[in-house]
Structure 1
């Protein structure tokens, strides 16, 4: 449950030296890469952050998310989430939490809507393939690709030289979209990073004055909303697909997966207690899912209750730690340890029962082969095999590494189905 926040006592020092507006966001937060003239007097009056949200909603890359894998392929069932429906659900969670924290809901929602725009076909499986294939040109990472797309690849605005600056979003919105604000060289064991070397100029502009590696609170809200939606809804999809029965969880097997994927140092006793705590939620199912409306309603109730449980716990912990304001770098989101454990347990349930199956393993291997062959074919054929914007990029590329980056940009832009079609045409 989200409740009203505490009275704001004053603004601690943030990164911006310019005067702050009444909402806590000043001119630096609203600055764009390319200055834009005022809108027509007869145009609807919108804030800078509302315009950012509209640009992401109307972007071609947003539409393509509808045909990209979340966990199960978008063609596998009419019910399961794809990247677009997942992003919409993340956006709803992020907006509600941001509003409850008296942050800027439009920024958090836009970051949530954009957070997966850089992901390639076939979900994280496709991302890992492109990361391996792109080692010689700086790697590939879905979040770094999102920044590249928002500031370069998605056509909306050009600078004085005619070069694309992408959607030309405000500094605050771009920063909120950056889940991992560091380059590949600073990536941890998980390999996550948020900027390629040739996108460093816009990254440095965006991060002006920010502490190295620190995320703004709006990015923290987006990241939590992603975790919450991912953990709850992937389990829901698995239940409806007949792969998960919440009344018959095998703790020994699931805990092995939880440790392998998420919490390597947590013991069985802690995980047992975590699952017991979630089972105490009044709506936790006591009978197997049978496909009836009554059963589906019960499943929806438990997903709703879990989302409220997680967000409510975070909100209360955040208010307990700071008076705010929860704007940019003035404060941080606080995720209680119990909430972190519960989210990881749900992720582990989905990973064990949905992602560890032999059928899925075979499918993922074929997807990897397909993407590797597609990248090789496009590199061999060159600009004639690329869409016009990427063909133009190829022709001005300085070396083989730059041309490989162009091919990765092209492949990352494809949907699952269009990747298969391009592979057939290679």
Structure 2
């Protein structure tokens, strides 16, 4: 598939924008040089604006987070989170935590906004289904797709191919530091530093050239400090807000958290998935009890206005608790200076990670593992598989114009398969079902 294969001859120098304290010119460099349309902005302010105004970010409004949109029984009840609202909330958490630790706040916010942009319809279930579809072209991983989208798919900036002169997309053409900060797993498929069999990776094989440029002089497999802040902000936002959504939807009963059999189920979900398998369940029990002992904990939530206000205060308290713990521990380790790039590691106390993990496990146990959810997930997997089959049978005509052109110019079957995967990943939940229904209708 056509894409970035080497540094463009257009890169004869880069306008780095207004100086950004704590970041050198390598951090603010872009793959393709371009002038700043509005002098006075920093390079990272431009990055943030580009992500915020992207079509890919807007599409996250139609992609499932945990509770499927449209499943509430009362119209007046608050809508559940989508991938977009989660990304906005993650960005708010990350911006403030990053600023407190000396990171450029626009840089961290841009990374938080961008971190889920590559995720497909139907949440993590859709991600697993697309991974099955893409098994013969390098697999699918939402984080690797985010990098691909930022550097190739999202149409913002084109350069001339040095060999042919044809226009080649460089995506949003973000700075090196912004792309690095949005990279949660800085390694290709099969190169996890401690678990080669892991399905978590951050770059596809044909995106390795730009990945190598992003990671110039970076320690192998190490996330930059801003990516660590983004990653923890992601954990904080979705653990707290998924728990809040579960309560709002009536799937989580706070009283169940006091039942020993129910607690044993929660520990079983957490072990291996949210905490290491060798974690003592007593640590998790202590973590949940610390939260239950807080005077702001939403005991007896009943959906009333007073209860909703109390729950909203609890979410604020939890976010502050998790972020302040990380900020304090990191400062005790690294001191009071500006912490950026590869100059520090984010330190999150084990007790705090356990508290966050328990919230994740509660949402998993009572929201994601509901019986009707498995039936829904099975149907979603069928939609993804049949959509891939139908698109392959009707390509290139059935593809959107952007992907149609890429399919036609693709050099081999593997690359053509990747274009089909890119097309499906770009869809919202609703548009995936609509396209599936249309393509499955027999042609006359």
Q: Which category describes the TM-score, using the shorter chain as reference length?
A: over 0.9
| Structure 1 residue 257, shift from structure 2 partner | 1.2
Partner of 2:64: 69
8 A Cα contact 1:247 1:285, kept in partner: no
C-alpha distance in structure 1 between counterparts of 2:27 and 2:98, whole Å: 17
Structure 2 counterparts to residues 231-270 of structure 1, below 5 A: 231-249=239-257, 250-263=262-275, 264-270=277-283
Secondary structure of the structure 1 residue equivalent to 2:172: coil
1:179 aligns with 2:176: no
**Deviation string, structure 1 residues 287-314 (Cα, Å, up to 9, x no partner):** 2x22211010010111111111100000
Partner of 1:294: 306
TM-score, normalised to structure 2, is 0.89
More deviation, 340-349/321-330: 321-330
C-alpha distance in structure 2 between counterparts of 1:156 and 1:74, whole Å: 30
C-alpha distance in structure 2 between counterparts of 1:74 and 1:412, whole Å: 19
**Deviation string, structure 1 residues 26-80 (Cα, Å, up to 9, x no partner):** 11111001100242xxx46311100100000110001100000001122334521
Partner of 1:121: 121
Question: How many corresponding residue pairs?
Answer: 404
**Deviation string, structure 1 residues 303-342 (Cα, Å, up to 9, x no partner):** 1111111000000000011124311011111011001111
**Deviation string, structure 1 residues 80-100 (Cα, Å, up to 9, x no partner):** 100000000000000010111
Partner of 1:15: none
1:28 to 15, 26, 33: 26
C-alpha distance in structure 1 between counterparts of 2:361 and 2:247, whole Å: 14
| Structure 1 residue 225, shift from structure 2 partner | 0.3
Structure 2 counterparts to residues 54-65 of structure 1, below 5 A: 54-65=49-60
Partner of 2:323: 311
C-alpha distance in structure 2 between counterparts of 1:44 and 1:223, whole Å: 31
Structure 2 counterparts to residues 345-384 of structure 1, below 5 A: 345-384=358-397
Structure 2 counterparts to residues 104-253 of structure 1, below 5 A: 104-161=104-161, 162-187=167-192, 188=195, 189-249=197-257, 250-253=262-265
TM-score, normalised to structure 1, is 0.92
**Deviation string, structure 1 residues 113-160 (Cα, Å, up to 9, x no partner):** 001000000000000011111111010000000000000000010112
Gaps of 5+ in 2: 1-15, 73-77, 162-166, 440-444
More deviation, 69-78/100-109: 69-78
| Structure 1 residue 185, shift from structure 2 partner | 2.3
Partner of 2:164: none
C-alpha distance in structure 2 between counterparts of 1:385 and 1:178, whole Å: 32
1:402 aligns with 2:441: no
C-alpha distance in structure 2 between counterparts of 1:306 and 1:247, whole Å: 19
**Deviation string, structure 1 residues 335-366 (Cα, Å, up to 9, x no partner):** 11001111110000000001111100100000
Partner of 1:334: 347
Gaps of 5+ in 1: 1-17
